[in-house]
Chains A and B, each alone.
Chain A
Amino acid sequence: MNEVRLTARKGRWIVLCVITLIAAGLLSPWASSHPDGLERVAEDYEFLHRAEAVHEWAPIPDYEVGGIPWTALRIGLAGVIGAAVMLAVLWGVLRALTGKGRERAGGTDHGHGAGASSGAAD
Protein backbone atom coordinates (compact mmCIF):
# COMPACT_ATOMS: atom_id res chain seq x y z
CA MET A 1 0.00 0.00 0.00
CA ASN A 2 1.02 3.60 0.36
CA GLU A 3 2.06 3.25 3.96
CA VAL A 4 5.68 3.66 4.93
CA ARG A 5 7.47 2.82 8.13
CA LEU A 6 10.86 3.29 9.69
CA THR A 7 13.40 0.96 8.22
CA ALA A 8 14.34 -2.00 10.37
CA ARG A 9 17.66 -2.35 8.58
CA LYS A 10 20.28 -1.77 11.26
CA GLY A 11 22.88 -0.81 8.67
CA ARG A 12 20.97 2.33 7.73
CA TRP A 13 20.83 3.52 11.33
CA ILE A 14 24.53 2.84 11.72
CA VAL A 15 25.18 4.89 8.57
CA LEU A 16 23.11 7.72 10.06
CA CYS A 17 25.18 7.48 13.22
CA VAL A 18 28.40 7.76 11.18
CA ILE A 19 26.99 10.70 9.17
CA THR A 20 26.10 12.42 12.44
CA LEU A 21 29.64 11.99 13.77
CA ILE A 22 31.19 13.19 10.51
CA ALA A 23 28.88 16.23 10.39
CA ALA A 24 29.46 17.15 14.02
CA GLY A 25 33.17 16.40 14.19
CA LEU A 26 34.66 16.88 10.74
CA LEU A 27 32.37 19.11 8.68
CA SER A 28 31.28 21.60 11.35
CA PRO A 29 34.54 23.61 11.33
CA TRP A 30 34.04 24.26 7.60
CA ALA A 31 30.43 25.50 7.90
CA SER A 32 29.69 28.94 6.50
CA SER A 33 30.38 31.69 8.99
CA HIS A 34 28.18 34.20 7.20
CA PRO A 35 25.27 35.47 9.31
CA ASP A 36 22.21 33.23 9.00
CA GLY A 37 18.69 34.34 8.09
CA LEU A 38 17.69 35.92 11.39
CA GLU A 39 21.12 37.45 11.96
CA ARG A 40 21.11 38.91 8.45
CA VAL A 41 17.73 40.52 9.10
CA ALA A 42 18.87 41.79 12.48
CA GLU A 43 21.92 43.36 10.85
CA ASP A 44 19.99 44.88 7.95
CA TYR A 45 17.36 46.40 10.23
CA GLU A 46 19.88 47.37 12.87
CA PHE A 47 18.69 45.53 15.91
CA LEU A 48 21.49 43.01 16.19
CA HIS A 49 22.98 45.11 18.99
CA ARG A 50 19.96 44.26 21.14
CA ALA A 51 21.19 40.69 21.43
CA GLU A 52 22.53 39.94 24.87
CA ALA A 53 23.24 36.82 26.84
CA VAL A 54 21.54 36.48 30.20
CA HIS A 55 23.83 33.62 31.11
CA GLU A 56 27.58 33.67 30.81
CA TRP A 57 28.09 30.21 32.24
CA ALA A 58 27.47 28.11 29.16
CA PRO A 59 30.27 25.49 29.21
CA ILE A 60 30.95 25.65 25.44
CA PRO A 61 29.87 29.09 24.20
CA ASP A 62 29.58 29.50 20.42
CA TYR A 63 30.42 25.86 19.71
CA GLU A 64 34.10 26.19 20.52
CA VAL A 65 35.78 24.22 23.27
CA GLY A 66 38.21 26.53 25.04
CA GLY A 67 41.89 25.93 25.61
CA ILE A 68 42.70 24.25 22.30
CA PRO A 69 44.97 26.06 19.83
CA TRP A 70 43.38 24.67 16.62
CA THR A 71 40.06 26.18 15.58
CA ALA A 72 38.96 23.11 13.64
CA LEU A 73 39.54 20.94 16.68
CA ARG A 74 37.77 23.41 19.01
CA ILE A 75 34.65 23.34 16.85
CA GLY A 76 34.78 19.68 15.89
CA LEU A 77 35.15 18.64 19.50
CA ALA A 78 32.23 20.89 20.47
CA GLY A 79 30.16 19.22 17.78
CA VAL A 80 30.98 15.69 18.90
CA ILE A 81 30.33 16.58 22.56
CA GLY A 82 27.02 18.17 21.59
CA ALA A 83 25.93 15.20 19.49
CA ALA A 84 26.82 12.82 22.33
CA VAL A 85 25.02 14.95 24.94
CA MET A 86 21.97 15.12 22.68
CA LEU A 87 21.90 11.35 22.28
CA ALA A 88 22.31 10.75 26.01
CA VAL A 89 19.77 13.33 27.15
CA LEU A 90 17.07 12.23 24.72
CA TRP A 91 17.71 8.57 25.42
CA GLY A 92 17.44 9.18 29.15
CA VAL A 93 14.34 11.36 29.02
CA LEU A 94 12.50 9.08 26.61
CA ARG A 95 13.48 5.95 28.53
CA ALA A 96 12.05 7.52 31.66
CA LEU A 97 8.87 8.40 29.77
CA THR A 98 8.30 4.92 28.39
CA GLY A 99 9.60 3.19 31.51
CA LYS A 100 6.86 4.45 33.77
CA GLY A 101 4.13 3.36 31.45
CA ARG A 102 5.66 0.00 30.72
CA GLU A 103 3.21 -2.12 32.71
CA ARG A 104 0.44 -0.63 30.64
CA ALA A 105 2.59 -0.25 27.57
CA GLY A 106 2.12 -3.85 26.50
CA GLY A 107 -1.32 -2.69 25.56
CA THR A 108 -0.35 0.33 23.51
CA ASP A 109 1.12 -1.71 20.65
CA HIS A 110 -1.69 -4.14 20.30
CA GLY A 111 -4.41 -1.74 21.34
CA HIS A 112 -7.34 -3.37 23.01
CA GLY A 113 -5.66 -6.78 23.02
CA ALA A 114 -3.72 -6.70 26.28
CA GLY A 115 -6.50 -5.94 28.70
CA ALA A 116 -9.01 -8.20 27.06
CA SER A 117 -6.76 -11.21 26.62
CA SER A 118 -5.39 -11.07 30.15
CA GLY A 119 -8.99 -10.99 31.30
CA ALA A 120 -9.74 -14.02 29.18
CA ALA A 121 -6.71 -15.90 30.51
CA ASP A 122 -7.99 -15.42 34.04
Chain B
Amino acid sequence: MHIPDGFLDAKAWIATSAAGAAAVAYSLRKTKLALDSKQVPMVALIGSFVFAAQMLNFPIAGATSGHFLGGTLTSILFGPWIGSIVMAAVLIIQALVFQDGGITVLGANILCTGFIGCFVGYGIYKAGVKLLAGRGRAAVTFVAAWLSIVAASAGVALLLAWSGTFELGTALKAMTGWHMLIGLGEGLITALVTGYLLERNVPLAKEATAR
Protein backbone atom coordinates (compact mmCIF):
# COMPACT_ATOMS: atom_id res chain seq x y z
CA MET B 1 0.00 0.00 0.00
CA HIS B 2 1.26 3.43 -0.88
CA ILE B 3 -0.17 6.57 0.67
CA PRO B 4 -3.84 6.75 -0.42
CA ASP B 5 -5.79 9.95 -1.05
CA GLY B 6 -7.12 11.40 2.18
CA PHE B 7 -4.11 10.69 4.41
CA LEU B 8 -2.47 14.05 3.72
CA ASP B 9 -4.14 17.42 4.18
CA ALA B 10 -4.36 20.02 1.42
CA LYS B 11 -1.18 21.91 2.23
CA ALA B 12 0.85 18.72 2.43
CA TRP B 13 -0.40 17.17 -0.80
CA ILE B 14 -0.20 20.41 -2.75
CA ALA B 15 3.36 21.04 -1.54
CA THR B 16 4.46 17.47 -2.24
CA SER B 17 2.76 17.46 -5.65
CA ALA B 18 4.69 20.57 -6.64
CA ALA B 19 7.97 19.30 -5.20
CA GLY B 20 7.45 15.84 -6.71
CA ALA B 21 6.72 17.27 -10.17
CA ALA B 22 9.81 19.48 -10.00
CA ALA B 23 11.96 16.58 -8.85
CA VAL B 24 10.71 14.33 -11.66
CA ALA B 25 11.26 17.07 -14.25
CA TYR B 26 14.81 17.57 -13.02
CA SER B 27 15.49 13.82 -13.02
CA LEU B 28 14.21 13.53 -16.56
CA ARG B 29 16.77 16.12 -17.64
CA LYS B 30 19.53 14.35 -15.73
CA THR B 31 18.45 11.00 -17.18
CA LYS B 32 18.48 12.38 -20.69
CA LEU B 33 22.11 13.32 -20.24
CA ALA B 34 23.16 10.13 -18.48
CA LEU B 35 21.21 7.42 -20.28
CA ASP B 36 22.89 5.36 -22.95
CA SER B 37 20.30 4.20 -25.49
CA LYS B 38 21.70 0.67 -25.24
CA GLN B 39 20.60 0.60 -21.60
CA VAL B 40 16.94 1.35 -22.38
CA PRO B 41 15.77 -2.30 -22.54
CA MET B 42 17.58 -3.14 -19.30
CA VAL B 43 16.14 -0.15 -17.44
CA ALA B 44 12.65 -0.99 -18.71
CA LEU B 45 13.04 -4.62 -17.67
CA ILE B 46 14.17 -3.62 -14.18
CA GLY B 47 11.12 -1.34 -13.94
CA SER B 48 8.94 -4.29 -14.86
CA PHE B 49 10.71 -6.47 -12.29
CA VAL B 50 10.23 -3.81 -9.59
CA PHE B 51 6.52 -3.67 -10.37
CA ALA B 52 6.17 -7.45 -10.17
CA ALA B 53 8.25 -7.74 -7.00
CA GLN B 54 6.16 -5.03 -5.31
CA MET B 55 3.10 -7.25 -5.69
CA LEU B 56 4.65 -9.97 -3.55
CA ASN B 57 3.79 -9.05 0.01
CA PHE B 58 5.67 -11.21 2.46
CA PRO B 59 4.33 -11.81 5.98
CA ILE B 60 6.13 -10.27 8.95
CA ALA B 61 5.33 -10.23 12.65
CA GLY B 62 1.87 -9.49 13.99
CA ALA B 63 -0.42 -10.22 11.04
CA THR B 64 1.37 -7.61 9.01
CA SER B 65 3.09 -7.80 5.65
CA GLY B 66 5.72 -5.90 3.78
CA HIS B 67 6.82 -5.65 0.20
CA PHE B 68 9.83 -4.74 -1.85
CA LEU B 69 10.15 -1.14 -3.11
CA GLY B 70 13.21 -1.15 -5.34
CA GLY B 71 14.70 2.36 -5.17
CA THR B 72 18.08 1.15 -3.98
CA LEU B 73 18.14 -1.66 -6.54
CA THR B 74 17.45 0.60 -9.52
CA SER B 75 19.87 3.23 -8.24
CA ILE B 76 22.76 0.84 -7.70
CA LEU B 77 22.23 -0.55 -11.21
CA PHE B 78 21.63 2.69 -13.11
CA GLY B 79 22.33 5.62 -10.79
CA PRO B 80 19.83 7.54 -8.66
CA TRP B 81 18.45 9.80 -11.42
CA ILE B 82 17.43 6.96 -13.68
CA GLY B 83 16.43 5.04 -10.54
CA SER B 84 14.03 7.73 -9.43
CA ILE B 85 12.48 7.94 -12.91
CA VAL B 86 11.86 4.19 -12.83
CA MET B 87 10.30 4.47 -9.38
CA ALA B 88 8.15 7.41 -10.46
CA ALA B 89 6.95 5.43 -13.48
CA VAL B 90 6.07 2.43 -11.31
CA LEU B 91 4.14 4.62 -8.86
CA ILE B 92 2.28 6.44 -11.64
CA ILE B 93 1.19 3.17 -13.30
CA GLN B 94 0.17 1.72 -9.92
CA ALA B 95 -1.93 4.77 -9.09
CA LEU B 96 -3.54 5.22 -12.51
CA VAL B 97 -4.10 1.61 -13.55
CA PHE B 98 -4.38 -0.26 -10.25
CA GLN B 99 -5.63 2.42 -7.85
CA ASP B 100 -2.71 1.64 -5.56
CA GLY B 101 -1.68 4.93 -4.02
CA GLY B 102 -3.66 8.12 -4.43
CA ILE B 103 -3.59 10.73 -7.15
CA THR B 104 -3.30 13.81 -4.95
CA VAL B 105 -0.53 12.07 -3.02
CA LEU B 106 1.36 10.80 -6.06
CA GLY B 107 3.96 13.50 -5.48
CA ALA B 108 4.35 12.45 -1.85
CA ASN B 109 4.74 8.79 -2.84
CA ILE B 110 7.27 9.69 -5.53
CA LEU B 111 9.27 11.80 -3.08
CA CYS B 112 9.27 9.20 -0.29
CA THR B 113 9.50 5.81 -1.93
CA GLY B 114 11.10 7.20 -5.08
CA PHE B 115 13.56 9.94 -4.28
CA ILE B 116 14.30 9.26 -0.61
CA GLY B 117 14.56 5.54 -1.31
CA CYS B 118 16.85 6.03 -4.31
CA PHE B 119 19.17 8.68 -2.94
CA VAL B 120 19.52 7.35 0.60
CA GLY B 121 20.13 3.84 -0.70
CA TYR B 122 22.55 4.97 -3.36
CA GLY B 123 24.40 7.34 -1.02
CA ILE B 124 24.95 4.68 1.64
CA TYR B 125 25.94 2.12 -0.98
CA LYS B 126 28.51 4.43 -2.58
CA ALA B 127 29.91 5.51 0.77
CA GLY B 128 30.13 1.91 1.97
CA VAL B 129 31.81 0.65 -1.19
CA LYS B 130 34.36 3.46 -1.01
CA LEU B 131 35.00 2.99 2.69
CA LEU B 132 35.54 -0.76 2.38
CA ALA B 133 37.31 -0.46 -0.98
CA GLY B 134 34.78 -2.71 -2.65
CA ARG B 135 34.88 -5.50 -0.08
CA GLY B 136 31.67 -6.86 1.35
CA ARG B 137 29.61 -5.37 -1.44
CA ALA B 138 26.64 -7.62 -0.72
CA ALA B 139 26.57 -6.58 2.94
CA VAL B 140 26.88 -2.92 2.01
CA THR B 141 24.03 -3.34 -0.46
CA PHE B 142 21.88 -5.02 2.17
CA VAL B 143 22.44 -2.23 4.69
CA ALA B 144 21.88 0.48 2.07
CA ALA B 145 18.57 -1.04 0.96
CA TRP B 146 17.46 -1.62 4.54
CA LEU B 147 18.20 1.98 5.50
CA SER B 148 16.51 3.34 2.39
CA ILE B 149 13.25 1.70 3.49
CA VAL B 150 13.53 3.05 7.02
CA ALA B 151 14.29 6.52 5.63
CA ALA B 152 11.37 6.35 3.18
CA SER B 153 9.00 5.35 5.97
CA ALA B 154 10.32 8.22 8.10
CA GLY B 155 9.52 10.54 5.18
CA VAL B 156 5.95 9.25 5.12
CA ALA B 157 5.74 9.68 8.91
CA LEU B 158 6.89 13.31 8.58
CA LEU B 159 4.21 14.02 5.99
CA LEU B 160 1.52 12.31 8.07
CA ALA B 161 2.52 14.34 11.12
CA TRP B 162 2.67 17.56 9.09
CA SER B 163 -0.88 16.82 7.94
CA GLY B 164 -1.97 16.52 11.55
CA THR B 165 -2.91 12.87 11.02
CA PHE B 166 -0.95 11.97 14.10
CA GLU B 167 1.82 13.22 16.30
CA LEU B 168 5.37 13.26 14.90
CA GLY B 169 7.11 11.16 17.56
CA THR B 170 4.43 8.49 17.47
CA ALA B 171 4.33 8.54 13.68
CA LEU B 172 8.09 8.11 13.37
CA LYS B 173 8.20 5.32 15.91
CA ALA B 174 5.31 3.40 14.39
CA MET B 175 6.38 3.78 10.76
CA THR B 176 10.11 3.18 11.16
CA GLY B 177 9.46 0.35 13.63
CA TRP B 178 7.52 -1.74 11.11
CA HIS B 179 9.80 -0.79 8.25
CA MET B 180 12.91 -1.91 10.10
CA LEU B 181 11.42 -5.38 9.70
CA ILE B 182 10.14 -4.86 6.17
CA GLY B 183 13.54 -3.45 5.18
CA LEU B 184 15.16 -6.84 5.79
CA GLY B 185 13.27 -8.17 2.76
CA GLU B 186 14.36 -5.16 0.75
CA GLY B 187 17.98 -5.75 1.73
CA LEU B 188 17.85 -9.42 0.80
CA ILE B 189 16.22 -8.94 -2.61
CA THR B 190 18.45 -5.97 -3.48
CA ALA B 191 21.63 -7.85 -2.55
CA LEU B 192 20.57 -10.94 -4.52
CA VAL B 193 19.55 -9.12 -7.70
CA THR B 194 22.52 -6.75 -7.79
CA GLY B 195 24.84 -9.69 -7.09
CA TYR B 196 23.35 -11.48 -10.07
CA LEU B 197 23.39 -8.54 -12.49
CA LEU B 198 26.67 -6.83 -11.63
CA GLU B 199 30.05 -8.20 -12.53
CA ARG B 200 33.62 -7.11 -12.04
CA ASN B 201 34.62 -4.50 -14.54
CA VAL B 202 37.26 -6.13 -16.74
CA PRO B 203 39.42 -3.63 -18.60
CA LEU B 204 38.27 -3.21 -22.20
CA ALA B 205 41.39 -4.66 -23.85
CA LYS B 206 41.15 -7.88 -21.86
CA GLU B 207 37.49 -8.21 -22.65
CA ALA B 208 38.19 -7.85 -26.38
CA THR B 209 40.74 -10.66 -26.35
CA ALA B 210 38.43 -12.82 -24.24
CA ARG B 211 35.84 -12.70 -26.97
Contacts and interface: CB of A to CB of B under 8 A. Distances in A.
Interface of A: 1-7, 9, 12-13, 15-17, 19-21, 23-24, 27-28, 31-42, 44-45, 47, 50-55, 58-63, 78-79, 82-91, 93-95, 97-102, 105, 108-109
Nearest to B67: A36
Contact of B51 (A24, A32, A53, A98): A24
Given A37-B175, A45-B170, A53-B4, A7 B197 contact: yes
Nearest to B149: A37
A13 B56 contact: no
A53 to B, nearest CB: 6
Contact of A6 (B44, B62, B63, B77): B77
A86 B46 CA distance: 9
A93 B67 CA distance: 26
A41 B175 CA distance: 7
A50 B57 CA distance: 23
A15 B34 CA distance: 26
A76 B115 CA distance: 29
Interface residues of B, number: 79
A9 to B, nearest CB: 8
10 contacts: A7-B197, A16-B197, A37-B66, A37-B179, A38-B1, A50-B6, A51-B7, A86-B44, A98-B35, A98-B37
B36 A33 contact: no
A53 B99 contact: yes
A55 B93 CA distance: 14
B31 to A, nearest CB: 6
B6 A52 contact: yes
Interface string B63-107: 111110000000001000000011001100111111110111000
A78 B134 CA distance: 40
A36 B179 CA distance: 9
B64 A97 contact: no
Contacts of B90: 86
Contacts of A23: 49, 52-53, 55-56
B3 A90 contact: no
A42 B7 contact: yes
A60 B37 contact: no
B198 interface: yes
Given A24-B52, A31-B56, A32-B65, A5 B198 contact: yes
A51 B6 contact: yes
A53 B19 CA distance: 22
A32 B67 CA distance: 9
Given A28-B56, A51-B5, A90-B43, A62 B98 contact: yes
A97 B37 CA distance: 9
